Amino acid sequence: MSIRENLKKIVYYLSGEIGPRSYLRTEALRKSAAYIISEFGGYGYDVFSRPYTVKDRIYENIYVEKKGVRYPEKILVVGAHYDTATGTPGADDNASGIAGLLELARLVKEMTFDKTVRFAAFTLEEPPFYRTENMGSYRFAKSLRDNGEDIEGMICIEMIGYFSDLPKSQFFPATFFKWFYPEQGNFILLAGNLSSKGFLLKVKEGFEKGSDLPVESISTLPLVPGIDFSDNWAFYKMGYNAVMVTDTAFYRNPYYHDAGDTPDTLDYDRMADVVTGLRSAILAFAVDG
């Protein structure tokens, strides 16, 4: 299957077959985790699960890695969350991100890397655990720091499926942003904090070599709403560089955290363009980057 068809298949399974995957729906989360494990395993990876308990319920992070042959101790993390907010099937948020994560892992499996790339699927990104120590990504990032691992950066894939060519389909946290960014929601955004600026620019450079999709970027203070609104927040808390790859969520998608966030609302051609761009960005780091 093509990249586009693989992405569509994954999104339709997670958000169509399984549906809402909130912290309350532990069986749906279990099925989602089993599916992610099966996909990773089917690509030929050894799959690792890291379960943990919150309020007497078991949740799990899942990861695989493509080991570097020259500098295996140097690691790039690529991650996305697979849970949803309550009451939404979460096609864009964040089945699209998981689809991108899985497809990237598939595409690079047979490549030779100098550095290690770790692909991680996180649980509990959404409320009520959002921006708490019970976020799956927080647990994951903390374990990396506690183990003293050499993390060169983290790419957070957060909502990559909603695009619009309509005029004024892109909104902003403040009016002045429209002087610097397009008012059509037909681009992908790379967002990061100030200390991650160098990392972000390298991701952007690599992305642009692999995709013709318009890409914008912003590196600024967390005072701008949305800069750290996903799993990249957890990596910032641990002192790591991180960049969020996003369609800008509620600044564009009218179905954000809504029952209308369904698979038929997504643009799978542009999603595929995001994935090819990210594959190029990963190569920029992993092959003697």
- Nearby residues of 59 by Cβ (< 8 Å), 6 or more positions away: 23, 26, 29, 51, 52, 53, 123, 124, 136
User: Does the 3-286 domain belong in CATH 3.30.43.10?
Assistant: no
Query: With contact defined as beta carbons under 8 Å apart, do 230 and 156 qualify?
Result: yes
- The domain limits of the chain are 3-286
Beta strands in the chain (DSSP E): 48-54, 57-66, 71-81, 115-122, 150-157, 188-193, 215-220, 242-246
Query: With contact defined as beta carbons under 8 Å apart, do 18 and 28 qualify?
Result: yes
Strands 115-122 and 188-193: unpaired
Q: Which of the four pLDDT bands, split at 50, 70 and 90, describes residue 289?
A: low
How does pLDDT run across 34-84, given as a tens digit for each residue?
Answer: 999 999 999 999 999 999 999 999 999 999 999 999 999 999 999 999 999
Q: Which of the four pLDDT bands, split at 50, 70 and 90, describes residue 164?
A: very high
- Smallest CA-to-CA distance from 92 within 220, 262, 237, 210 is with 262
pTM above 0.95, yes or no: yes
HEC secondary structure over 193-243: EHHHHHHHHHHHHHHHHHCCCCEEEEEECCCCCCCCCCCHHHHHHCCCCEE
